[in-house]
């Protein structure tokens, strides 16, 4: 019988559990009858519905170790000892969309609570995630500071940061995120970035949503009733185009100055991955079906994020949308986690050199590529 080597997982800013779902789905086996796995232990978030979703899906409905409270109030001495820390620290102040406030914003300093957790528990490894805009916030100084702090946290960590384009890892969505993996230096291991699995064969939005078809009674699959003007507007927008498409009649166009963001009433292309699914935004930002004149349902958005259909999001429809849009795609997280476990197991895998910028000269990756 194979021996299980289990890493106990704690997570800060856990959201609904996309990152955790990917981690606990991962495993690696060595040639010495050992299997390496990750088990959820404890989590924290400030959003009540996210905590309920996490407890239901990740902790099998047990909410005892899912603490819904501001991270500032967590006493890490009282947190159960863990082997791996995950934290997708809030990214609002580092996003390439809108004003970048970096460390001067409300959310910028929150990564330091991950540092505090590491200082107390010295986990064997950690995984931290943020938007691609982090690399250029505060002229790059924010990212440099965060990497330095992570490397020097606790007993010291060897950190590998990489800009992952998740569409290259089987996610049917152009979602670009910086993921930092740190392994404690005294363990003598080096994590390498897993090579893309679908770089030349992207999963399309249509394939993700229609194969297999979503049952009509699937959870979180309510169809939004669209206003008549929205339906009329969408009739004139072909797949892949937005509200500023030249074929949209004048009376149906938006009279918004300096706002031609490409996702406004933008239809998906059925033959390409979706553009980035977001968790908030007003009219026109909900993601739109390529042929039906309507916004996507939350279950369709969840499919584009690679959540399984039996993963149920708690709360209102808008709350579910927010949770889905803010989550890490489980499929991408699983591939990264499997590579970490293979590193511990001493199992080789295909890898690529870490990369942060995409070569466009400004250190940022376009948020919407398809």
The pLDDT confidence band at residue 102, using thresholds 50, 70 and 90, is very low
Q: Is the pLDDT of residue 47 over 60?
A: yes
The confidence score (pLDDT) of residue 359 equals 34
Q: Which helix (H) or strand (E) covers residue 225, if one does?
A: none
Q: What is the C-alpha to C-alpha distance for residues 85 and 96, in angstroms, rounded to an integer?
A: 26
For the 3-200+328-352 domain, the top CATH level (class) is: alpha beta
Which DSSP letter does residue 72 get? G
Write down the domain spans for the chain. Answer: 3-200+328-352
- What span, in angstroms and rounded, lies between the C-alpha atoms of 199 and 254? 36
pLDDT digits (tens, 9 = 90+) for 119-174: 999 999 999 999 887 777 667 778 888 899 999 999 999 999 999 999 999 999 99
Q: Burial, 110: exposed, middle or buried (Cβ in 10 Å; 0-12, 13-18, 19+)?
A: buried
Tens digit of each residue's pLDDT (9 = 90 or more) over 303-355: 999 999 999 999 999 999 999 999 999 999 999 999 999 999 999 999 999 99
| Backbone dihedral region for residue 287 (phi beyond 0: left; psi -120 to 50: alpha; all else: beta) | left
Name the percent of the chain lying above pLDDT 70: 89
pLDDT one-digit tens code per residue, 74-87 = 999 999 999 999 99
Tell me if residue 14 is catalytic. Answer: no
Distance of alpha carbon 149 from alpha carbon 342, whole angstroms: 26
User: What's residue 131's pLDDT?
Assistant: 81
Provide mean pLDDT across the span 87-116. 64
Among 14, 51, 68, 91, which one carries the catalytic annotation?
91
Contact 196, 170 (CB under 8 A): no
Chain segment 240-265, per-residue pLDDT in tens: 999 999 999 999 988 776 555 678 99
- C-alpha separations of 21 from 56, 184, 236, 341 in Å: 12, 23, 39, 15
Residue 15 has pLDDT above 90, yes or no: yes
| Average pLDDT of the chain to the nearest whole number | 90
| Cβ(110)–Cβ(158) below 8 Å | no
Kindly state the average pLDDT of the residues 213-217. Answer: 95
Pick from 28, 277, 38, 279: nearest CA to 171: 277
Structure tokens at 80: 């159960």
């Amino acid at each position: 019988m194979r021996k299980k080597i289990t890493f106990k997982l704690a997570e800060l800013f856990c959201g609904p559990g996309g990152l955790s779902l990917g981690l606990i789905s991962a495993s690696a086996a060595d040639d010495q009858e050992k299997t390496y796995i990750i088990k959820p232990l404890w989590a924290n978030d400030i959003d009540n519905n996210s905590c309920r979703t996490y407890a239901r899906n990740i902790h099998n409905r047990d909410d005892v170790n899912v603490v819904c409270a501001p991270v500032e109030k967590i006493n890490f001495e009282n947190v159960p000892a863990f082997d791996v820390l995950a934290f997708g620290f809030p990214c609002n102040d580092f996003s390439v969309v809108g004003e970048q406030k970096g460390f001067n914003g409300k959310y910028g300093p929150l990564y330091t609570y991950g540092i505090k957790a590491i200082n107390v528990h010295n986990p064997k490894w950690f995984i931290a995630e943020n938007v691609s805009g982090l690399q250029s916030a505060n002229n790059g100084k924010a990212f440099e500071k965060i990497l330095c702090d992570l490397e020097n946290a606790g007993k010291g960590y060897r950190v590998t940061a990489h800009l992952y384009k998740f569409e290259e890892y089987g996610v049917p969505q152009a979602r670009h995120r910086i993921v930092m993996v740190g392994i404690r230096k005294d363990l003598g291991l080096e994590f390498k970035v897993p090579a893309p699995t679908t770089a030349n064969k992207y999963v399309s939005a249509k394939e993700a949503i229609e194969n297999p078809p979503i049952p009509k009674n699937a959870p979180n699959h309510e169809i939004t009733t669209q206003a008549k003007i929205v339906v009329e507007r969408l009739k004139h927008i072909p797949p892949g185009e937005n509200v500023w498409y030249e074929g949209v009649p004048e009376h149906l166009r938006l009279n918004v100055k300096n706002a031609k963001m490409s996702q406004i009433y933008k239809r998906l292309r059925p033959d390409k991955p979706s553009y980035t699914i977001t968790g908030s935004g007003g009219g026109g930002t909900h993601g739109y079906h390529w042929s039906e004149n309507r916004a996507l349902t939350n279950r369709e958005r969840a499919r584009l994020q690679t959540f399984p259909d039996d993963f149920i999001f708690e709360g209102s429809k808008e709350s579910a949308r927010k949770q889905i849009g803010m989550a890490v795609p489980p499929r991408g997280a699983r591939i990264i986690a499997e590579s970490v476990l293979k590193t511990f197991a001493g199992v080789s895998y295909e890898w690529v050199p870490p990369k942060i910028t995409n070569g466009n000269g400004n250190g940022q990756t376009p948020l919407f590529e398809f």
